[in-house]
Amino acid sequence: MYNSGSILHLNSQTILITNFSEQQYEYILLQGQSSGKFDVEINNEKTLYADTSKTFWNILPDSLEVSSSISSVKLNLVYKNIILSRTSSYYDQVHQKQMNQEFIPNKSKVNYAGRVFDADEMTNLVDSSLDFWLTYGKYSKKFEKEFAKKVGVQHCLLVNSGSSANLLAFMALTSPRLGERQVLRGDEVITVAAGFPTTIAPIVQYGAVPVFVDVSLENANIDTNALQGALSSKTKAIMIAHSLGNPFDVQTIKDFCNKNNLWLIEDNCDALGSLYNDTLTGSFGDIATSSFYPPHHITMGEGGAVYTSNDTLNSILMSIRDWGRDCWCPSGRDNTCGKRFSQKFGNLPHGYDHKYIYSHFGYNLKATDMQAAIGCAQLDKLDSFSQKRKDNFEKLYNGIKQFEKFLTLPSATPKSSPSWFGFLLVVKQNDHFSRSELSQYLEKNKIQTRTLFGGNMVKQPLFDDLQLDLDYRISGDLNNTDIIMNDAFWIGVYPGMTNEKINYIISKFAAFFDNYNEL
């Protein structure tokens, strides 16, 4: 053993090491030809470049004694690398083994979605926790900058969920700073009933009026033929999602909004990575939103984003996200504008502290830096995740298309390349089985299924106390929405779906439809 007299030199800085075994010592000497960040010398015997991989840091002992010449910053770096290396090893020993478990037909569960991650997410998370900044910090800034660049917009704000992103996006349109385009209580917003509740919840909660139109049965997206009939003198915005990752008719929607001076909120929560006309969705709306809940295209556990290329909207969004404050100083900084105590606002006394001036009724919707740390690692994987979703969709489509006699299969909308969130199936009208029976059969065989979220939202209990034509309107009929509510469901295509699982799914569809081959 090389005990407390053993010395490790890192870039001419000295660390005394306790419990440094001969095996560990020999390992370091053997790494002399590798290229690393740290110039290492042990007991003056040899100078070399040490391998800075997780293996190197794993062999260092937990207890390090510091000589008088080493800075605390250098020692902290050594400790951090030891911890991060062992975090990576923990992933290898625990999570990776779980992910690589053998799939056993009829026993293993086929989830519709789930987390897909590696050691990068875990080490980022632990790195952030060691800094113990907790709230908005370096990882948050990095994520916002890289996400905006990836999607092709000017600004991104990280928030604590996709639902908060939708709330923030809509509430930004109620800002008095927007003048005649401000959404007022009683104004109307065109949307669809076949979707998720938090796309429409902010509209109702504010006191605006959602106007529901039907969807196309082929893709569950808004029926653009219904737009003109839904338009009124009170219409101020359209707020809709790309259903299950399949882009809506962006060009028609954009043209309609431009012609009628309407805002477009693009709910991109289920479509991150999808393309319309070779451009990423999320870049078309005045404001767009994303969710980073585990089933989504990337995850940070809980989390979301709201993004825009409109400078005015961005400043409003930032204000409402951060308590409604007027001050735009980043966390931990004061008096960025240089006028903190020299301005006049409202009926407050002159010079009232600008850090406590509130220009909007806002919230605290920020995420933690630990969430952002995970998101940074996930964002690096977005392209590969999207490709895997497309590949899985194609495999399922090729395996299930033989049952088109009974099922309406999904197809990409024109000009689009979806990063599919799910594989939507609509059971055609027949006298032999229902959507519910097919779903229950799949669930019994350990294949998860999901309906298209709320089905027809206006038939949900949350609408029981709302009055038609006062609190909300329906333009035309919602026949296709009702068909989706009654007859549609979807299964997963997420990146964790293996070929074994996909083949198993197809085999179970085949077994189910074997009973109806003669029909």
In tens digits, the chain (519 residues) has pLDDT values of: 333 334 444 444 444 443 444 444 444 444 433 334 344 444 444 333 334 445 555 555 555 444 444 455 556 776 787 788 889 989 999 999 988 899 999 999 999 999 999 999 999 999 999 999 889 999 999 999 999 999 999 999 999 999 999 999 999 999 999 999 999 999 999 999 999 999 999 999 999 999 999 999 989 999 999 999 999 999 999 999 999 999 999 999 999 999 999 999 999 999 999 999 999 999 999 999 999 999 999 999 999 999 999 999 999 999 999 999 988 777 777 887 888 998 998 999 999 989 898 999 999 999 999 999 999 999 999 999 999 999 999 999 999 999 999 999 999 999 999 999 999 999 999 999 999 999 999 999 999 999 999 999 999 999 999 999 999 999 999 999 999 999 999 999 999 999 999 999 999 999 999 988 765
- Give the HSE-up count for residue 135: Cα atoms under 13 Å, Cβ half-sphere: 7
Per the domain annotation, does 113 fall within a domain?
no
Q: Containing domain of residue 64, as a range?
A: 6-88
Contacts with 306 (C-beta within 8 Å, 6 or more apart), sequence order = 156, 157, 159, 165, 168, 169, 287, 288, 289, 290, 317, 321
The radius of gyration of the chain from alpha carbons, rounded to an integer in Å, stands at: 28
- Computed from CA positions of residues 167, 171, 173, 178, in that sequence, does the dihedral angle turn out positive or negative? negative
Q: Do 28 and 127 fall into the same domain?
A: no
Q: Do 31 and 128 fall into the same domain?
A: no
Q: Do 340 and 314 fall into the same domain?
A: no
Per the domain annotation, does 154 fall within a domain?
yes
Q: Do 184 and 322 fall into the same domain?
A: yes
Per the domain annotation, does 346 fall within a domain?
yes
Q: Do 249 and 137 fall into the same domain?
A: yes
Q: Do 317 and 388 fall into the same domain?
A: no
Q: Which of these three, 66, 88, 110, is where a domain ends?
A: 88
Contacts with 29 (C-beta within 8 Å, 6 or more apart), sequence order = 42, 46, 48
- Catalytic residue status for 242: no
Q: Do 269 and 391 fall into the same domain?
A: no
Q: Do 223 and 263 fall into the same domain?
A: yes
Q: Do 320 and 451 fall into the same domain?
A: no
Per the domain annotation, does 1 fall within a domain?
no
Q: Do 479 and 506 fall into the same domain?
A: yes
Give the separation between CA 250 and CA 243, rounded to whole angstroms.
13
Give the separation between CA 287 and CA 312, rounded to whole angstroms.
11
Per the domain annotation, does 290 fall within a domain?
yes
For residue 456, what are its two tokens?
A: 């027809």
Per the domain annotation, does 284 fall within a domain?
yes
Per the domain annotation, does 76 fall within a domain?
yes
User: How many domains, in total, are found in the chain?
Assistant: 4
Q: Do 422 and 347 fall into the same domain?
A: no
Contacts with 17 (C-beta within 8 Å, 6 or more apart), sequence order = 2, 4, 6, 7, 8, 60, 61, 64, 65
* CATH number of the domain residue 303 falls in: 3.40.640.10
* CATH number of the domain residue 459 falls in: 3.90.1150.10
Per the domain annotation, does 111 fall within a domain?
no
Give the separation between CA 173 and CA 317, rounded to whole angstroms.
9
Given 9, 242, 296, 354, the catalytic residue? 296
Q: Which of these three, 344, 379, 414, is where a domain ends?
A: 379
- Burial class of residue 498 (count of CB atoms within 10 Å of its CB; 0-12, 13-18, 19+): middle
Q: Do 64 and 205 fall into the same domain?
A: no
